Amino acid sequence: MNLQSKSVCYILAVTAVFLCGVRSAEGIGQTGHMAVAEMATVNIYETGCPDLVTILNAFESERDCGAVFPDWAWPSFYQQYSRLAHTIEFQQTWADYVKTNFPPPYPMGEKREVSFLMGMTTHTYDDPPWHTSFLPQAKAYDSADEWLVEPGTDIFANWEFDKRSEVTYGYFPAETAVNVYFALGYPEVTESMLVKGMLILRAAYWAEKFTGYQGYLKLVNRMPWTDDNYVTYSPGGFEYGAEVSAQEMVNTWNYVQGELTQLQRRDMQVFPERNPLIELGQRLVESGAIEIPVERTEQGEYFLGEPRIVDEGSFESVVWGFEF
């Protein structure tokens, strides 16, 4: 079977596992977090702060990678580190690090750091209302568990936000992340652990784009209320998350610029338990079924390229043998 035929089989397999069932998964998916970060950038543009908007638009991939970063460690053996990355304390410590080590005006590399931080801010603030408000409604109206809502809304976003063919590079400031975890008392978190987690997120983001139009339509028919409301529902939908995130991004920007002496953080945090898409990405990476180009800079930044299938046998085994 050639790679094109293999991809067709994969489309069918991914659709089937979404519709047949998984045990538990919560939270906005990766495409969803990226969509919220993009919407938040538009909100900031409409209300001011042009210097921040310029950085966010020039470094979209960095922003989007920051928006998914807190989920880097959901593979079961690292969960405690992802839980920490969802906290206000972690967000504050990262902002402190950027403020201290990357003062304005920003050269190229430091603009990447700032954009990543802003993306991470959106994750911190769009997750809680999604969990506490939107998810219960979606489950009730569509008789769906979290396992279907999360990957389902990512599939909706891929088609309805035209993200299916989007090709981005993965960016990750590993040295910064190591220093932030160290400052919080977790010296055991290493660069290699973090990069592996980001490779898994990269694989998961790539994997979900294989769901075809027929699979998308089946999900719309299965979850009509979710599809109609995941963007506009308030509080909790994408638009609400973008509004809250935009406010916090501007506050964070003013803080790292030195215009605020401290951040007044909303007490909003939740801890998702499991993400089937990330677990699928983990299997793809650890099996050697796919390859993701990796480049490290002298500043401890990583650029992750587009995944590609390199071992058809392993790829087939992972996709068809994966149990949610």
Which of 146-149's residues contact partners 24+ apart within 8 Å by CB, and which partners? Answer: 146/24, 146/25, 146/26, 147/21, 147/22, 147/23, 147/24, 147/25, 147/276, 147/324, 148/18, 148/19, 148/21, 148/22, 148/219, 148/222, 148/223, 149/223, 149/226
- pTM score of the predicted model: 0.89
Kindly write down the DSSP assignment for every residue of 132-192, as one continuous string.
Answer: IIIHHHHHHHHT--HHHHHHHHHHHHHHHTT-TT----EEEEHHHHHHHHHHTT-TT--HH
Half-sphere exposure of 23 (CA within 13 A, CB side): 6
The string of pLDDT tens digits covering residues 118-150 is 999 999 899 889 988 998 999 999 998 767 888
Q: Name the stretches of the chain with pLDDT < 70.
A: 1-28, 75-77, 146, 164-168, 264-274, 321-324
- Scanning the structure block, which residue is given the tokens 């999604």? 130
Q: Looking at residue 150, what is its pLDDT?
A: 81
Q: Looking at residue 166, what is its pLDDT?
A: 64
CA 213, distance to chain mean position in Å, is 23
